């Protein structure tokens, strides 16, 4: 018998779609790939690393035309190296549709 108890407040859904993002107030644009998404956060890969606490503006573009893009402001919570890229975990602060 397992004593495992899920401690996350929100279920994470695996998603395979593109993401574009830029630092809040910055002019640089970067591309990434979404790994998973919940109502409170997002995990994506990027060639570029960011410091924990950095604020980003993201645009998640689903692979189908039925679902509109999601725009949000996020705060970087964790960055891990992964196979020549970076796994960036962010808290979603403000969401726009």
- Token pair of 45, please? 């890969």
Q: Is residue 44 part of a domain?
A: yes
Answer yes or no: is 40 within a domain: yes
Tell me whether strands 18-23 and 30-37 are parallel, antiparallel or unpaired: antiparallel
DSSP 23: E
Interatomic CA distance for residues 32 and 27, integer angstroms: 16
**pLDDT reported for residue 10:** 55
73 contacts 35 by C-beta, under 8 angstroms: no
Q: How far apart are CA 20 and CA 29, in angstroms?
A: 7
pLDDT of residue 53: 97
What CATH number does residue 57 fall under? Answer: 2.40.10.220
Q: Which domain holds residue 37?
A: 17-96
Total count of domains within the chain = 1
pLDDT, tens digit (0-9, with 9 covering 90-100), for 63-85? 777 878 889 999 999 999 978 89
User: Are 52 and 79 a contacting pair, CB within 8 Å?
Assistant: yes
Enter the tokens of residue 58. 């993201």
């Amino acid at each position: 018998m397992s004593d495992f108890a899920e401690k996350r407040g929100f279920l994470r859904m695996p998603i395979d779609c593109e993401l574009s993002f830029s630092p809040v107030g910055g002019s640089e644009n970067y591309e990434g790939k979404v790994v998973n998404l919940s109502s409170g956060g997002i995990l994506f890969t990027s060639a570029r690393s960011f410091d924990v606490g950095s604020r980003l503006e993201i645009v998640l573009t689903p692979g189908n035309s039925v679902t509109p893009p999601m725009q949000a402001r996020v705060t970087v919570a964790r960055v891990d190296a992964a196979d020549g890229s970076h796994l960036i975990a962010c808290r979603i602060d403000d969401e726009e549709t």
